[in-house]
Structure 1
Amino acid sequence: MIPLRRYRLLSIIFAAALALSVTIVWLAPVADAGELCGRADTINIADKRQVVMNNVWGADTLQCLEVDQDGSFEVSHSEHDKRTESAAAYPTIYQGCHWGNCTVGSGLPIKIRDLRSARSSWTIDTTDVDGRWNVTYDLWFHTDANAHRTPDGAELMVWLDRADGTEPAGTLVARNVTLAGALWDVYYADWHWNYVAYVRVRPTNQVDDFELAVFTRDAVGRGYLDRDWYLSGIEAGFEIWQDGAGLSSRSFQVAINY
């Protein structure tokens, strides 16, 4: 996963600090399925084919997740009340590599030019959830095949839903772009890596057989990605600035095809 957004994405000024914090994240112990309240707590799903992480990276406030063995999770508690551009947290489930910590049998990293498809199904519940947050995929790219390190190529986000006027970082560069059967507004920022975000014009809380590769191809065409870079990780979760208790990821799958 920066603007009203993280997003975790930090400004360049905080890039070094973020890299350090991520290193610390992966020193944290892996928890059993159940409740996660530690800032860096993680749970391995299906023999670490996927990982759920609490991922409170931009604030000191408490956040807890309830996680099932199948990888579904809910933000059960949130004390966030952040009013700056960067988010407080990005609770997420991921496949591939997250800042050097990689799952098993993900099919990642893969060179962009070799990626035929990355199809995902994801069901989310945001019913009656207060606060400022978004529902987003977060794709990370390295400039070479070594993904056991901080990403250095790009970050690509696909926002499915948002609350309280949240917006990505960067500049709005295109409106109403047709991709994957919907219309998207496109944002771009040039930081320590390229940042590009696609925001769905009409929000949704469910996608089925959703082709993420079309977004990578569009970003290549805009000059934000290089076809010789590597897609290293696919994450799905919620960037949270304020509240967000009740946000739920009911199911998540992604399949990579060469």
Structure 2
Amino acid sequence: MTLLRRYRLRSIFFAAVVALGITIFWLAPAADAAELCGRADTINIADKRYVVMNNVWGARTLQCLTVAGDGRFEVAHSEHAKSTGSAAAYPTIYQGCHWGNCTVGSGLPIQVGKLRSARSSWAVSTEGVPGRWNATYDLWFHTDANAHRSPDGAELMVWLDRAGGAEPGGVLVARDVVLAGTTWDVYHADWHWSYVAYVRTSPTAEVRDLDLAVFTRDAVGRGYLERRWYLSGVEAGFEIWQGGSGLAARSFQVDVNL
């Protein structure tokens, strides 16, 4: 992924956000919205407690997001048409650091071995959206506490839903692994970093109080992640190969605890 630095803002009203520690609660949507159409466009939400980014990193085709003042976003327009290879884009909201662009007050990075929990609730709208895409968490890990650079440790994905034949990278290494009260297929690859993806066998558009630390512990046990490394960012969004117009993030919350 590319470093995302700039954002374009059309008149936006920031809704009140209540934050305790690094937990984020989304309130009522703002009356106006920002539009992000540049490949690297980002917008800071709630004094940069988190960031929404357009993140068209794997293609040159147009994509536009509308972003409410509380951070809810929708893929308003997509011209992506990739059938193979890497995704065209990953529009997302994140907390922590993404290629050196860090949010404020997140408490990240946190050493994996000291991570007690990383509980998240996330709701998306995907029904009837055409194309090839997924709805996924993307967790990034650095080998040390310096997160103001590209990740060099691991990438851990948690796929909740997918369409159009979307598949993770790497190879399938385990089926029907029971984690967080349901089953997942596990994929792994060794790239410039260690890649592991957990694909939910029963797709869902919403999770509540999902402990992402459960997946980090499983990845440590499989040898794909090291306890001495640092969780540096928690992202939630949509990998898009084709189509994707209408995909929307309706709410998001994450609470990382030592």
| Common fold: TM-score over 0.5 | yes
**C-alpha contact 2:7 2:36 (8 A) present in aligned 1:** no
Name 1:116's counterpart in structure 2.
116
Q: CA deviation at 1:239?
A: 0.2
| Aligned sequence identity (%) | 74
Name 1:71's counterpart in structure 2.
71
Counterparts of residues 82-97 of structure 1 (less than 5 Å): 82-97=82-97
Counterparts of residues 43-192 of structure 1 (less than 5 Å): 43-192=43-192
Deviations 1:157-193 (A, max 9, x none): 0000000111100010000000011100000000110
In the comparison of the two structures, how many residue pairs are matched?
236
Question: 3-state SS of the aligned residue for 1:219?
Answer: helix
Question: 3-state SS of the aligned residue for 2:59?
Answer: coil
Q: CA deviation at 1:30?
A: 5.3
Deviations 1:227-246 (A, max 9, x none): 00000000000000001000
Unpaired segments of 5 or more residues in structure 1?
Answer: 1-17
**C-alpha contact 1:31 1:41 (8 A) present in aligned 2:** no
Unpaired segments of 5 or more residues in structure 2?
Answer: 13-33
Alpha-carbon distance between aligned partners in 2 of 1:50 and 1:69, rounded to the nearest angstrom: 12
Q: Does 1:213 align with 2:213?
A: yes
Name 2:29's counterpart in structure 1.
none
**C-alpha contact 1:161 1:203 (8 A) present in aligned 2:** yes
* Amino acid in the other structure paired with 2:225: L
**C-alpha contact 2:8 2:35 (8 A) present in aligned 1:** no
* Amino acid in the other structure paired with 1:257: N
* Amino acid in the other structure paired with 1:55: N
Task: Tell me the TM-score normalised to structure 1 length.
Answer: 0.90
* Amino acid in the other structure paired with 1:85: G
Name 2:9's counterpart in structure 1.
31
* Amino acid in the other structure paired with 1:204: T
* Amino acid in the other structure paired with 1:31: L
Task: Tell me which protein shows more helix as a share of its residues.
Answer: 1
Question: 3-state SS of the aligned residue for 1:218?
Answer: helix
Alpha-carbon distance between aligned partners in 1 of 2:132 and 2:213, rounded to the nearest angstrom: 28
Alpha-carbon distance between aligned partners in 1 of 2:208 and 2:125, rounded to the nearest angstrom: 15
Name 2:25's counterpart in structure 1.
none
Alpha-carbon distance between aligned partners in 2 of 1:77 and 1:249, rounded to the nearest angstrom: 15
Name 2:244's counterpart in structure 1.
244
Q: CA deviation at 1:58?
A: 0.6
Alpha-carbon distance between aligned partners in 2 of 1:40 and 1:219, rounded to the nearest angstrom: 30
Alpha-carbon distance between aligned partners in 1 of 2:205 and 2:253, rounded to the nearest angstrom: 15
